[in-house]
Amino acid sequence: MRNPIVLARKALQIPRQAVVYADWVIVPSVKAPFADLGILQRVRVRFNSRRDLFSRAYRNASWGSQESGSGTGSELRATEVVRANLPVLLARYNIGVLLDAPCGDWNWMQHVDLSDVKYIGADVVPEVVKLNQQKHEDSNTSFFVADLTSDPLPHADAILCRDCFIHMSYQDISAMLSNFRRSGATWLLASTYPDAKKNRNQFTGRKWRPLNMQLPPFNFPLPVEMLSDNDDINPTQLAVWRLEDLPEFKSRL
Ligand SMILES: C[S@@+](CC[C@H](N)C(=O)[O-])C[C@H]1O[C@@H](n2cnc3c(N)ncnc32)[C@H](O)[C@@H]1O
């Protein structure tokens, strides 16, 4: 008897590597029922570590920007407002140590006035971190490689998590939030799309979708404050929460 997976793949015209590269080749209507099978996520993560997935995104300039490997949302024109307002916000919350998780390629952050904070950047892509270290490290600024879902994090007053959850499965977001809590940080500054009416899950990877962190499955409370992130392509907000105020949520995928 023919293997049913092979038959289904042929019928749906899914290439052989579909299980491995699930979110890249399966159209959404087909992917949705598969997404409930936690096994697919595990298979995929085994074949593609987060490090591999995001290293490939940088190598292939997958996020479509000539200016920043981290994507159009990290270009200077997209970060005008956040660059001007972040230092004010950090001062207002007495942030002495900032963990930028993930830091990406530092295209815009290098233009932010960080003179009043100790800055630590973390990212899962070693090549990106190495370049940041070579170009930007000094007595007040350091970078390290970390998978934010699991690696130990240094203590900071605030964690900045900009444009990251949007690329991740619910399971990875849940793990990352638990890791942020374990670090003992007080504040979380994270991207959210208050206008999004519904969240949807996806496999972790270069693709992204808007997430409203106040809706299920996250159910974050009203932010203490929101800062317009003024990305002209995807208007979003950088919201401030106390990590201890955030409900825990678990997801199999
Ligand atoms: C769209 S970029 C945003 C970077 C930066 N926050 C910014 O605003 O420019 C997303 C970043 O998340 C990083 N990333 C994704 N998953 C990660 C993980 N599990 N641990 C650490 N970094 C991760 C990617 O390598 C990439 O640099």
Residue 76 and residue 44 in one domain: no
pLDDT-derived band at 235 (thresholds 50, 70, 90) equals confident
Please indicate, yes or no, if residue 251 is contained in any of the structural domains.
no
* Number of domains making up the chain: 2
Please compute the mean of the pLDDT values over residues 153-164 and round it to a whole number: 98
Query: What's the mean pLDDT when you consider all of the chain?
Result: 86
pTM: 0.85
* CATH code assigned at 132: 3.40.50.150
Best mutation site among 77, 100, 164, 171 for ligand 1, i.e. most ligand atoms within 8 A of its Cβ?
164
Q: Is the CB of 44 under 6 A from ligand 1?
A: no
Which domain range does residue 239 map to? 72-245
103-157: pLDDT as tens digits: 999 999 999 999 999 999 999 999 999 999 999 999 999 999 999 999 999 999 9
Q: How far is the CA of 166 from the centre of ligand 1 (A)?
A: 10
3-state secondary structure of 38: helix
Within this chain, do residues 23 and 136 fall inside the same structural domain, yes or no?
no
Q: Which residue of 124, 159, 234 sits with most ligand 1 atoms within 8 Å of its CB, as the best mutation to test the pocket?
A: 124
Which pLDDT does position 7 carry in this prediction?
65
Same domain, 99 and 214: yes
Q: Assess whether the C-beta atom of 132 lies below 6 angstroms from ligand 1.
A: no
Same domain assignment for residues 149 and 228: yes
For residues 105 and 140, membership in a common domain is answered with: yes
Select the highest-mean-pLDDT range: 78-82, 128-132, 167-171: 128-132
Separation of 6 CA from ligand 1 center, angstroms? 35
User: Does residue 152 share a domain with residue 37?
Assistant: no
% residues pLDDT > 70 (the chain): 79
Pocket of ligand 1, candidates 23, 41, 52, 54: which has the most ligand atoms within 8 Å of its Cβ, to mutate?
Answer: 54
In this structure, the answer to whether residues 162 and 37 fall within a common structural domain is: no
Ligand 1 centre distance from Cα of residue 1 (Å): 45
Report pLDDT for 251. 77
Do both 192 and 81 map to the same domain? yes
Ligand 1 atom index nearest CA of 168: 16
Report the pLDDT value the prediction gives residue 160, as an integer from 0 to 100: 98
Instruction: Clarify whether residues 108 and 187 are in a common domain.
Output: yes
pLDDT tens digits for 181-194? 999 999 999 999 99
Q: Is residue 59 part of a domain?
A: no
Question: Averaged over 12-38, what is the pLDDT?
Answer: 44
pLDDT average, residue stretch 207-218? 95
Q: Which atom of ligand 1 is nearest to the CA of 128?
A: 27
| Pair 148, 37 in one domain | no
Q: With respect to residue 55, please indicate whether it lies within any of the assigned structural domains.
A: no
